[in-house]
Every structure is written in structure tokens, then in C-alpha cells.
Amino acid sequence: MIISINAMARAFFSTIVGFILLFSVACSEQEQQQEAEQQGEQQEQPQMQEEQPFGGDEDVAFADALWKEMEKSNLVGQSRIVDSEPYKGAPPHGMILDVSEQKITVNGIEGDLVVKRNYGGDGLTVEDVKNDPAKYLEAVTIMFKREDGYDDENRNWFYVKYGSDGTILTNPKGALLAGRVAKGAPTGCIACHKSAPGGDYLFIHDRFK
């Protein structure tokens, strides 16, 4: 009788141990699965961040198409008609500037375009620029209002900095200045234009609020 109670106790005990073992194996499997999922998520994140805010192939193609449209509209290039009054500027845009704006269609997207021409040279005067604008033109900076969804949190502006001949200029790190320029960075087109009065990213007026 004593022996059989002993045997029963041992059988009971080993069943319990068995259950505990099974349970802990199941738990650790679940944990491993969770860990694997978390790692998967972590691996996906860098891919999402890789989308370049500016200077990519699409931005460059769009900026080139935009330059051609501006030439057709005589806003830049040899046949440009000087229809805006040059004024004295300040850094970062140049000694003497002039701005014109109009609606334009680029690759089927119609939007407001603001073109700023930046003139430079020693002792340059407004008269010099009026008399020979092409000679002193150093850069053309533009803002083009693109379709909804392009960059909703920054009013969908597309930025470019061109040289006087339409080549896209680069920043000191070699990135082409076309697109959502320097989005997320503390300096650059977006960071500075964000502070323009009226919340429309333009300093010149608040019409595109």
C-alpha cells in the first residue's frame, strides 16, 4: 500500500513537471515569434526613410521640364522680357533681385510659379541690372506650387536653384537643389521659407495662403 502511494505520487509529480515543461516551451516559442516580428519591423523602417525629399531623378526631370516651360514663357533665357523691377536684396539670395510670377503647366500639373533672379557683381547697381540683366545673372531660384499630396505639411511647394543657364545647382554636400529642398533639415529653402509671414512660405506677399 505504501509503495503504491509512493508510485502514484511519483506519477502525479512527473505529469505536473511535464505540463510545466510543455508550457514553458510554448511560451518561449511565442516570445521568439514576437522578437522576429519586431526585428522585421525594424528592418523595414530604413527602407521607408530612404525616400529622398529632394535631388532624386524625378525631381531633376521635373526641374528640367520646368526650365523648358519657363523658357517658352520668356521667364528665363535669351528672349526674356524684363517685366519686373529689380530691387536691392540681402543674403542668401543676392545683391540685386527681381521677382515675377504667373501660372504655368509642367508635365500636366498647373500651378503658381514664383521666379526670382539673383544678380551679383562688385558694386552692382539696380541700373546696371536693368541695362544688362543677362550679364549679371548668377542664379534663378523658383518655387512652384505642386499638386495636393506632394508635400501637404509644407504647402506643396517645389523648390529649385538653377544657375543662369538652367543647370541645377548643388549644396555643399553635392545634393542637387530640386524638390522638397532640405525637408526635415534645420536650414535650407523649406526651413527658412516656413518662417515667412502669412504661413504661405512666401516673403513677398500672402496671396497663396
Dist. CA 10–CA 8, nearest whole Å:
5
Binding segment for ligand HEC (CB under 6 A), chosen from 37-45, 72-80, 123-131, 184-192, is 184-192
Under the binding rule (CB under 6 A), the answer on residue 111 touching ligand HEC is no
Which residues, 6 or more positions from 68, have their beta carbon under 8 angstroms from its beta carbon?
Answer: none
Match 546696371 to its residue by C-alpha cell: 128
- How far apart are alpha carbons 117 and 138 in whole angstroms? 8
Interface with ligand HEC, residue 143, by CB under 6 A:
yes
**Binding residue for ligand HEC (CB under 6 A) from 52, 124, 203, 208?**
203
Which residue lies nearer to ligand HEC by CB, 109 or 196? 196
Compose the 41-60 pattern: x for residues touching ligand HEC by CB under 6 A, - for all others: --------------------
CA–CA separation, 5 and 188 (whole Å): 84
Q: Does 204 bind ligand HEC (CB under 6 A)?
A: yes
Measured from the CB atom, the residue of 3 and 90 that comes closer to ligand HEC is 90
Other beta carbons within 10 angstroms of residue 73's beta carbon come to 17
Distance CA 66, CA 59 (A): 10
| Shortest CB 68 distance to ligand HEC, Å | 18
As measured in angstroms, the least distance from the Cβ of 185 to ligand HEC is 10
If one asks whether residue 93 binds ligand HEC (CB under 6 A), the answer comes out as: yes
Q: Which is nearer to ligand HEC, 10 or 88 (CB)?
A: 88
The torsion defined by the Cα of 87, 90, 92 and 97, in degrees rounded to 10, comes to 10
The whole-angstrom separation of Cα 144 and Cα 106 is 10
Q: Which residues bind ligand HEC (CB under 6 A)?
A: 89-90, 92-93, 97, 99, 114, 116, 141-143, 159, 161, 177, 181, 188-189, 192-193, 196, 202-204
